[in-house]
Amino acid sequence: MPLIALTGGIASGKSTIAERLAERGAVIVDADRIVRDVQSPGSPVLDDIAAQFGDDVIGADGSLQRQVLASRVFGDDEALRRLNGIVHPAVRRESARRFAEAFARDPEAVVVYDVPLLAEARADDPWDLVVVAHAPADLRRARLVELRGMTEQEARARIASQASDESRLALADVVIETAGTLEHTRAQVDRLWDGLGDRIADR
């Protein structure tokens, strides 16, 4: 019942790796989805966010106004710390519940936690293996501009707001290089999957 952390910077190809692992039989738990779920309308997390950052971060339909909240915390380390203090514990609890649920359904399951902020928030958790999707920052910036429609400045800011490549790579048991073709990335994932037992034993 291995529990694997999969991380990578924005536009690093992490989702491609997660999709391939799911195709091979892994159970994917998506941290971004959990964040959205714990911030759903009427949730205690959303109430706490409004109490900290103002009622106008909640729209007329009761949902979180992400752009409004982002404008309150972006570039303000103290505000971001307060927001993380609300969101991260809730995500940790919910992710643990989903891991346990997956293993209860299948004790032999391979559960992969797709988590962008591993280096920032979950590096010390007891993972059986840490997999890092890696592509050079210049290539990731180009992907953000070409594929997601960001400006060059927006792309640079998003990359700069995350942990450095060095800090992520320092956590890695396995690095999957995603600068090449889709086929090359998938082939690396297949090699990982086929040798998973040995990788975990070596760690």
- Between 36-40, 79-83, 110-114, 158-162, the lowest mean confidence (pLDDT) is in 158-162
Q: Where are the domains of the chain?
A: 1-26+110-197, 34-107
Q: What are 3's strand-pairing partners?
A: 111
Q: Mean pLDDT for the chain?
A: 94
| CATH tag, 1-26+110-197 | 3.40.50.300
The model's pLDDT over 122-165, given as tens digits with 9 standing for 90+, comes to: 999 999 999 999 999 999 999 999 989 999 998 998 898 888 99
Q: What is the DSSP string of 40-96?
A: STT-HHHHHHHHHH-GGGB-TTS-B-HHHHHHHHTT-HHHHHHHHHHHHHHHHHHHH
Cβ atoms of residues 110 and 199 within 8 Å: no
Q: What are 134's strand-pairing partners?
A: 177
As a whole number, mean pLDDT of residues 84-103 equals 96
The model's pLDDT over 186-199, given as tens digits with 9 standing for 90+, comes to: 999 999 999 999 99
Residue bearing the bigger pLDDT, 17 or 161: 17
As a whole number, mean pLDDT of residues 173-183 equals 96
Class of domain 34-107: alpha beta
With a CB cutoff of 8 Å and minimum separation 6, the contacts of 34 are 91, 94, 95, 98
pTM for this prediction: 0.91
Flag whether pLDDT at 87 surpasses 90. Answer: yes
Q: What percent of the chain has pLDDT over 90?
A: 85
Handedness of CA 182, 193, 191, 167 (dihedral sign): positive
Flag whether pLDDT at 184 surpasses 90. Answer: yes
Flag whether pLDDT at 33 surpasses 90. Answer: yes
Q: Tell me, yes or no, if the two domains 1-26+110-197 and 34-107 fold the same way.
A: yes
